[in-house]
Amino acid sequence: MIEWIEIYVETEGDVKVPFFTGSMLRGVLGYALKRVVCINPSYKCEGCFAADDCLFYHFYEAKNVFHSYRFGITLQPKRLDFSFYLFEDSVASLPYILSAIKKSLEELGVGREKKTVKIKKIRVGEQTVYDGKAFLSLKEIKPNTLEIDNFCQDVTLNFIMPIRIKENNTFAREQFSLHTLIGNIHSRYRQLKGLAPERLGYRVHGEIVKSTLKFVETQRYSSRQKSGMNMGGLKGEITIMGLDKQSYVYLKIGEIIGAGKQTVFGLGSYEIKELKCK
């Protein structure tokens, strides 16, 4: 199951939009989400009686878990518009996420100066659920499923956001193999479904015949560790020819769930340009 939210804001005015918005947006959304769902008078997660059933805890504090959500952003945006994706069981949290998004932008504010911004519109899928004044009914909204009816042998992947992916246990700085990419998406998909780790189980067919990937360095500030953290990765396009159907399906899945590390912040996001299809 998938649910995607698109947030559009009014002109930000004196709000400075950073080069990388993923860390800022995730931080303020977490703060707002805690305000929305927390029932512990102490507001402390450690030892909390409700942690096992708390949306904020599972989204932000739980250790060694796979987060079933991610931001959809671009580097150096001119506006603060962004997307937010919910996967599988997290789809049920949609009302709380919408409330937290509104609180984070219009009440708590973004950036170091905590500047508030006015939300122009929020859409869930094809439906407007917030018109800038009030939330509309969510009764007609149903979770989406990914349906893949066609098959393309030749495609181009445009990495909108840098992808941090390991090749031979080291983050790739120039290139990565198609097998590595497909294997990563396969692993992420199984984690989202709550399935045990399993090898890919088939031979990937296809060849990367052209690449314009370049390493882009970016950082985020970790308030927990009180320091900056490198989040650089490869950005650009790769053209793949001779894909088998299963690999094409995995690439379509990756277009939705992202690929590589730190997808929750918006990294590893790409779009598929179909070149030759059956």
Both 254 and 196 in one domain: the answer is yes
Domain CATH number, residue 158: 3.30.70.1900
Give domain status of residue 272, yes or no.
yes
Q: Which two tokens stand for residue 216?
A: 């882009």
Cβ distance 278 to 151 under 8 Å?
yes
Q: Where are the alpha helices (DSSP H) in 115-194?
A: 178-192
Both 156 and 123 in one domain: the answer is no
Tell me the residue range of the domain where 16 lies.
2-130
Give domain status of residue 38, yes or no.
yes
Place of tokens 């060849």: 207
Which of 26, 24, 18 has the alpha carbon at shortest distance from 59?
26
Both 159 and 120 in one domain: the answer is no
Q: How many domains does the chain have?
A: 2
Both 123 and 158 in one domain: the answer is no
Both 15 and 120 in one domain: the answer is yes
Both 174 and 269 in one domain: the answer is yes
Both 162 and 253 in one domain: the answer is yes
Both 121 and 167 in one domain: the answer is no
Place of tokens 């950005």: 235
Both 6 and 83 in one domain: the answer is yes
Give domain status of residue 146, yes or no.
no
0.85 surpassed by pTM: yes
Residue ending a domain, choose from 69, 96, 130: 130
Both 21 and 84 in one domain: the answer is yes
Both 115 and 188 in one domain: the answer is no
Rounded distance between C-alpha atoms, residue 191 and residue 199, angstroms = 13
Q: What is the full per-residue pLDDT of the chain (278 aa) written as tens digits? A: 888 899 999 866 667 888 888 889 999 999 999 999 988 877 788 888 888 889 998 999 888 788 899 999 999 888 889 999 999 989 989 999 999 999 999 999 887 888 888 999 999 988 899 988 888 877 777 777 777 888 999 999 999 999 999 988 899 898 999 999 999 999 999 998 888 889 888 899 999 999 999 999 886 655 555 556 678 899 999 999 999 999 999 999 999 999 999 999 999 999 999 987 87
Both 114 and 177 in one domain: the answer is no
Give domain status of residue 138, yes or no.
no
Contact partners, residue 274, CB within 8 Å, separation at least 6? 150, 152, 154, 155
Domain CATH number, residue 91: 3.30.70
Give domain status of residue 143, yes or no.
no
Dihedral, 250, 256, 261, 262 alpha carbons, nearest 10 = -170
Beta bridge partners of 135: 130
